[in-house]
Structure 1
């Protein structure tokens, strides 16, 4: 039984419908059909989503199962580097998976690369900087050539300017102001 998110298993992409893919993989685990390929798909989808805590819990559930742990180990290595903010090691670990023999896993690794780059270059930061003045440091951070980095960062900046992020930021600012005011009232009473 598979959902519309993964009409065929394993899915060709974990970046599309990653939340649904994670749910389906968890369901397959619960009903006892969580073989090592299901776990790898789940781990990759969790990393695309940036849910490294859930990835750690997945690893901990199976680290003592030699067959499943062997399949998950390269993926856990990536997640662990990301959790420790070891960006350079994250790129190396993703490259190891990408260079592996399985083209599907290589696709997953490349999708994780794109998602990770997006998380490393937050939209709010991009709006406030001049991309061309800091391109070499961003290129190193994002593991890209300077030319590709400028393209990537400019595309992210354009996305930011055309979205409703400013409205969201205003809402969050109001919430924080409310919470700070509430905290001050508690301390002054």
Structure 2
């Protein structure tokens, strides 16, 4: 973490993106090296203009702590390898106080579907399906997996549970199944 803090302080870093665990570790390091947490004086980031997370769920408490420490909004994004990877992210012009990943990026469509395949009303939780130019065409040499993940209209089932508010805010709330990545033998 010391090298990260040094880069933020001295190397003119203007954009800093990481997974939530990285920010949590950085805050932990700062607490050990700086008694006053009003700002991360142990780190200092004079040129920093954007901080953001992606890659795993962001908790409200971590978001609030990072924002207090850096003195700016922590933006949140969401995506998967199969979707190129970004599906949605908060907008600089309209920061969020919650952990929404906001609306989809340009040309990406979202649907939140119930187990029966019908769309869920705003505020309801269901499986997140996406469609757009960045969505993969299929899994390499695996037509069965492709057919299970992508429907006949090009909608990809992310396997994530989500809800979308009436204002378009998207919240990821879990997974429909466990994901274990292992090499093929």
TM range (shorter): 0.3 to 0.5
- What is the TM-score normalised by the length of structure 2? 0.32
Larger Rg: 1 or 2? 1
Quick check: which one's strand share is greater?
2
- What is the TM-score normalised by the length of structure 1? 0.32
